Amino acid sequence: MENVYVQTGEVDKLREECGVFGAYDFDGGDVASTIYYGLLALQHRGQESCGIAVSDTKGPKGVVLSSKDMGLVNEAFTPESLEKLKGDIGVGHVRYSTAGSSTRENAQPLVLNYVKGTLGLAHNGNLINAPQLRRELAYTGAIFQTTIDSEVIAYHIARERLNTGSVEEAVGRAMGKIRGAYSLVIMSPRKLIGARDPYGFRPLCIGKRDNTYILASESCALDTIGASFVRDVLPGEIVTISPEKGIESDLSHMIPKEEHARCVFEYIYFARPDSVIDGTGVYHSRIMAGKYLAMDSPVDADIVVGVPESGNCAAMGYSMQSGIPYGIAFMKNAYVGRTFIKPKQKNRESSVQVKLNPIREAVEGKRVIMIDDSIVRGTTSDRIVRMLREAGAKEVHMRVSSPPFLWPCYFGTDVPAREQLIAYNRSVEQISEMIGTDSLDYLKIERLHEIVNGLGICKGCFTGNYPMDPPEEDIRGSYER
């Protein structure tokens, strides 16, 4: 999807930007309900808005039916609204805004009507040259309906299509102009197209159920709808799916494997543990991160606990390696999403405690090792540590299954400016004192390649060494103003 950092002030967690899903039923059946269930499985990737766009490949050319709204998938769609979305090809999207404000206009998929027909586009990622491309388009008469960089991609594909023989060729030409992180699912009148940026920042895979072909951000969405996993879309690859030719592949945009730069936070935090990305299981990666923490940063304790949900697997790995029992120390309120009415401070409600509550019986009188996936600003960590102490924990030792954040991210993860990062200009001991732990340690940076089985990853937010030059204009948050 896009690229702006939005500070909530209350929840000190990284946010991913979006999930994408596409389906094409070669037998002509409606795909809206399949897309709906696929988006439910990808809900963790975006909880601000969602949308579905479908078309009937055997009906009038250029007719696209779409529905999108703010909120969660099961709130935005009803059986009646899905019933109206008649079509055998379609794309869907769940959004968390990293660029462009959180408004209905910025919800995806985007639908463009142009000379050659229609395009439906869903985008996960972030372009670093979006401002320049946007200005160029504006000076040649383009009128923008949104503030998201996904619209820049759609415009470029539409313009290139005027001078090419096929939509997939237009997508390829547009890829030659856009820079940054993107996984795209595109619906044309007769084709479903998937594209992944050459670095492979964001995941995208192909599935099949009977005679329906699927494109999805994560393999867990394929499991949800009973589809089998076919393969991942390769970094730099364009796949075109049609009844006439099945899956066609264009590899002309690929770069050497050693330059690949997958976002390592897909494995540490963003993706669901039941997903497999580029051959490496997310569950395996988190277990291994916990094991390496136990090897490199041991401490005597009575129980190992995880901060739900993403800290749980790493905590299990720590427990397996150390022999210290694994326990559950927090109850998570399953009915609170990432956005909720901010509690009034005069009533002293803690927004953290609305989501998490410690189990006194599990931690009272014990030395606790608490595993979390990251510390961004530290505002949530100190509250969770305090909650454990108030529940009677004798000691609290924190271990983090990622290295310290020292640099911002420009590729779709909302790691903020350096000044807002708790690890910037502070030692581990200083951070430990700030958040109130008895000890603190992070995953060693050299372990990152090991937890993903040697895949090429981006470590820019830890090292400041990005796979491509960062943007000259940092527009994160600018559209909010």
Active site amino acids:
18
Q: Contact at 8 Å (CB) between 275 and 219? A: yes
- String of DSSP letters for 360-422: HHHHTT-EEEEEES--SSSHHHHHHHHHHHHTT-SEEEEEESSPPP-S---SSS----GGG-T
104/380 Cα distance (integer angstroms): 29
Q: Contact at 8 Å (CB) between 131 and 7? A: no
Residue 121 Ramachandran class (φ > 0 left, ψ -120 to 50 alpha, else beta): beta
7/420 Cα distance (integer angstroms): 10
Q: Which amino acid is at 62?
A: G
Cα separation of the two ends of the chain: 19
Q: Is the dihedral of CA 375, 379, 382, 386 positive or negative?
A: negative
Q: Contact at 8 Å (CB) between 318 and 369? A: yes
Q: Contact at 8 Å (CB) between 268 and 310? A: yes
| Closest by CA position to 343, among listed 312, 393, 304, 383 | 383
Q: Calculate Rg over the CA atoms of the chain.
A: 22
Distances (CA, A) of 187 to 63, 87, 90, 92, 317: 12, 12, 6, 10, 41
- String of DSSP letters for 189-213: SS-EEEEE-TT--S--EEEEETTEE
